[in-house]
Structure 1
Amino acid sequence: MLTFWLVVVIVVALGFAYTNGFHDSANAIATSVSTRALTPRVALLMAAVMNLVGAWLGLELGGGVAKAVTSGIISPPPTGAAGLVIVFSLLAGAIAWNLITWRLGLPSSSTHALIGGMVGAGLASGLTVSWSGVWDKVVLPMLVSPVVGFALAFALMLGILWAFRRANPSRVTRNFRMAQTVSAAGMALGHGIQDAQKSMGVVMLALIAGGRATSSSPVPWWVLWSAALAISAGTSAGGWRIMRTLGRKVIELDPPRGFAAESVASLVLYFTAFIYPAPVSTTHIITGSIMGVGATKRRSAVRWGVAQNIVTAWFLTIPAAACCAAIVYYPTHAIFG
């Protein structure tokens, strides 16, 4: 019976990976689609393939993000049905918030929805929540990464404007539209490196709770490929509501600005995957970068009201997902725990 529930929880974990894919696919392709550098169909296919490659690459080069998710936020769940109920509840809370924000077209963070689910299920079940770990691995990167993205994108865009100040505008636009193919692929690769590892991390949590792994166990190959395929399938399904918000409602992007935003966001994702492993939000980074390149036009070019709604959703994500997970935990624990 325990094996059956373990399979159920793993399927739910892959369901979270799928929602992560269609929820966060806009992060990788919104700018390139809005500037018409890529058609939506080609952009989605490219993002799905690069997510798959990124998942494999991230694990091969250390898997630091997966380790950050499975340790340092809550104490390991107990082995058995009680532990599987905890993992199921945290996943259900994260999925619920992903679906709510997707329905509203808000580019919130699947990463923080997952962390919020862990905190909510952990508190409801009596596990120890490492608040210092939440601060170091979640809250601090949430505050710093969009600011870094904003500042670097602003600086890069100023450099582009200066470097091409005497160039033919139509030629510059055409060349940067082609360059966006590369920057969008780099962004999709970074998304796969970061977010696929998080999905692997929660599958490993389920295996730990089911008694099939320990916190020091390596990630099995089938976990890598199932999580990667699930997130790629979700990406190929598309997240059109969120894509419209990022690609059109925050600012009207042109190819040079799209290239600058994607390039900066990619670099930040690689840094936080390999240099300073932390489960950062691709949503926060690309949104900050888009605001940064937009601010080089004029202050009013950024629709700050839309930006305010997005930032509000960022701060609501962890407590809201925690509440969803706790709400799921109590009846589930009463029946199956």
Structure 2
Amino acid sequence: MSDALSLTGVGSTPARAEPSARGPNLNGRTHPAGIGLFFLVLAGGIGYALFNLITDMQAAGQPPLAIGAFVLLGLALLIALAFEFVNGFHDTANAVATVIYTHSLPPVVAVVYSGVLNFLGVVVSTGAVAYSVVTLLPVELVLKAGSSAGYAMIFALLIAAIIWNLGTWALGLPNSSSHALIGSVLGVGLANQLLAPAGSDASGVQWDQAWSVLRALLFSPIVGFVMAGLLLLAMRLMIRNRALYREPEADAPPPLWIRALLILTCGGVSFAHGGNDGQKGMGLIMLILIGAAPTAYALNRTMSEASTPGFVQLSERARTVFQKRAETAALPSPAAARTQITEAAGKKDLDHPEVYAALAALSNDIATQVKAYGAIRHVPAEATPNLRNDMYLASDAIHSLTKREGLFAGAEAETLKAYEASLNDGTRYIPTWVKVSVALALGLGTMVGWKRIVVTVGSRIGKKHLTYAQGASAEITAAGTIGLAEAYGLPVSTTHILSSGVAGTMAANGSGLQWATVRNLAAAWLLTLPAAIALAGLLYAGLRFVF
């Protein structure tokens, strides 16, 4: 059990993990009490999630699930949490590499410290990143998350991402879990479109959303490389203390102030990683919960009655905007409006009077229902799934329309964006217990299997040993970039930013790069997207025949 906490081995001991003349000793053993505590926290987390799931369902009046449905729900949740667990030991190992290789912290202390900061990052996260992943999925699958196709979607994209992450981890490659998950989402979207019957309006990938996400993923390594290198050069100009630019000596820790800086930056990266990467599984978990227990989770029942008048007023203002664009088109019934908007969204062709008339009818129906019930929290069980789908559909359509340049401007654009935000408040939320469960999975995962990635980042990117200044520059760049991305709701890769940051400092320092490792990292970066797309697409096609 030398590879876990260094707690529990997830694989064989990585090749060449032995300490070098100046490298850290990664082969220390963990006390049995530490291993026992690990499994105690794991069992407690599972019990906590199960208790809250049952409590929420009972409080909302959700009818008891059949045994088969409950088992399927439990399996889906376990796989989603397994993704975050793998994310923890795969991605967060990057954060601890610098403090371990500079002897700022012993390996076991470093991974526990990082795990705790990951936990806190997830718990205080906003949830913005969580739903940025969900918006990439085909609209009809999101609206029918509890259907056989919905479960096939969830299982396919999560299993594909886990398989690719474990494969790259086994090779010691700091590949991105975010990259793998986005690729899996795209694979499911493409497969859904290819498998649709001829003449149907099944949607595929939401390419407008996908491009903004892919842009962040693709350009963040370049930002990491350039900014970390520039930061190192700036530090050389402003901080003249030579100790900062030395390589670690034997097993001796760095001077106290340098050690504090490295520990602080490691904590910053871990916290930022939790706040960004930890959210990606949350959105998928919410899809699972909405599909299996819509009464309890389809609507945000924490919204108070005080928010109802403002929501109704926004709905009416949005309806006025849509009616103006509808021209002479008649308003359809709510059922016909749903069908029309879903078909138009699938074709990515919403800018038509008939669609605006449908949006006006749907907005009016949403406002009428919420006003009649007094608040979203009072919507009865039988009306919850339809109202949630209507709100999600309207929000998705408005988002697509307002992103088109020049289509809406001024007061109209402000009204629609405010209405979209109000709709999202009612449907896109994360219960506290989901955050805590994901935080535990990510935090515990940090403490498992970290050695392989640490060895690569710490000693195989540059030709020379990592200096204190290089470690700090890479960590500061990663923490700042990831934190900024979380604020804007963009999923980025801790792995890509930090490993490219280390490479950037090596280049700026004239240390030279180990091109064999750089080529492997670049190959993993380039192959992740197509490999995850293919894996998820094939799994989705196969699982459609299972569910």
TM-score scaled by structure 1? Answer: 0.92
The alignment status of 1:287 with 2:509, answered yes or no, reads: no
Q: Which residue among 432, 437, 440 is the counterpart of 1:226?
A: 437
Ranked by relative contact order (alpha carbons within 8 Å, sequence separation 6 or more), the top structure is: 1
Query: For the structure 1 residues 164 and 122, does the alpha-carbon distance in structure 2 shift closer, same or farther, using more than 3 Å as the test?
Result: same
Alignment of 1:146-165 (within 5 A): 146-165=221-240
CA contact (8 A) 2:173 2:453 kept: yes
CA contact (8 A) 1:37 1:255 kept: no
The one-letter code matched in structure 1 to 2:475 is E
Q: CA deviation at 1:3?
A: 3.2
State the alpha-carbon separation in 1 of the partners of residues 528 and 82 from structure 2. 19
State the alpha-carbon separation in 1 of the partners of residues 244 and 208 from structure 2. 51
State the alpha-carbon separation in 2 of the partners of residues 66 and 87 from structure 1. 14
The residue that corresponds to 1:128 in the other structure is 204
CA contact (8 A) 1:261 1:286 kept: yes
Q: Which moved more, 1:186-195 or 1:33-42?
A: 33-42
State the alpha-carbon separation in 2 of the partners of residues 20 and 149 from structure 1. 20
Q: CA deviation at 1:199?
A: 1.3
State the alpha-carbon separation in 2 of the partners of residues 143 and 6 from structure 1. 34
CA contact (8 A) 1:28 1:188 kept: yes
The alignment status of 1:334 with 2:542, answered yes or no, reads: no
CA contact (8 A) 1:74 1:118 kept: no
The one-letter code matched in structure 2 to 1:51 is N
Q: CA deviation at 1:269?
A: 0.6
Q: CA deviation at 1:135?
A: 1.5
CA contact (8 A) 1:70 1:204 kept: no
CA contact (8 A) 1:2 1:80 kept: no
State the alpha-carbon separation in 2 of the partners of residues 187 and 230 from structure 1. 18
The one-letter code matched in structure 2 to 1:133 is Q
CA contact (8 A) 1:272 1:280 kept: yes
The structure with the largest alpha-carbon Rg is: 2
CA contact (8 A) 1:86 1:121 kept: yes
CA contact (8 A) 1:73 1:133 kept: no
The residue that corresponds to 1:68 in the other structure is 132
CA contact (8 A) 2:190 2:204 kept: yes
The one-letter code matched in structure 1 to 2:481 is V
CA contact (8 A) 2:269 2:478 kept: yes
State the alpha-carbon separation in 2 of the partners of residues 30 and 14 from structure 1. 24
The residue that corresponds to 1:169 in the other structure is 243
Runs (5+) with no aligned partner, structure 1? none
State the alpha-carbon separation in 2 of the partners of residues 184 and 284 from structure 1. 16
Q: CA deviation at 1:171?
A: 9.7
The residue that corresponds to 1:201 in the other structure is 283
State the alpha-carbon separation in 2 of the partners of residues 171 and 88 from structure 1. 48
State the alpha-carbon separation in 2 of the partners of residues 242 and 26 from structure 1. 6
The residue that corresponds to 2:263 in the other structure is 181
State the alpha-carbon separation in 1 of the partners of residues 539 and 76 from structure 2. 14
State the alpha-carbon separation in 1 of the partners of residues 491 and 103 from structure 2. 30
Query: For the structure 1 residues 124 and 5, does the alpha-carbon distance in structure 2 shift closer, same or farther, using more than 3 Å as the test?
Result: same
State the alpha-carbon separation in 1 of the partners of residues 245 and 290 from structure 2. 56
Q: Which residue among 61, 77, 83 is the counterpart of 1:16?
A: 83
TM-score scaled by structure 2? Answer: 0.58
Q: CA deviation at 1:265?
A: 0.7
SS at 1:58 equivalent: coil
Query: For the structure 1 residues 265 and 7, does the alpha-carbon distance in structure 2 shift closer, same or farther, using more than 3 Å as the test?
Result: same
- Computed over aligned residues only, the root mean square deviation of the Cα atoms, in angstroms, reads 1.8
Q: Percent identity?
A: 37
State the alpha-carbon separation in 1 of the partners of residues 230 and 244 from structure 2. 23
CA contact (8 A) 2:92 2:494 kept: no
The residue that corresponds to 1:321 in the other structure is 532
The alignment status of 1:296 with 2:544, answered yes or no, reads: no
Say how many residue pairs are matched.
329
Q: When you count helix as a share of all residues, which structure comes out higher?
A: 1
Q: CA deviation at 1:210?
A: 2.9
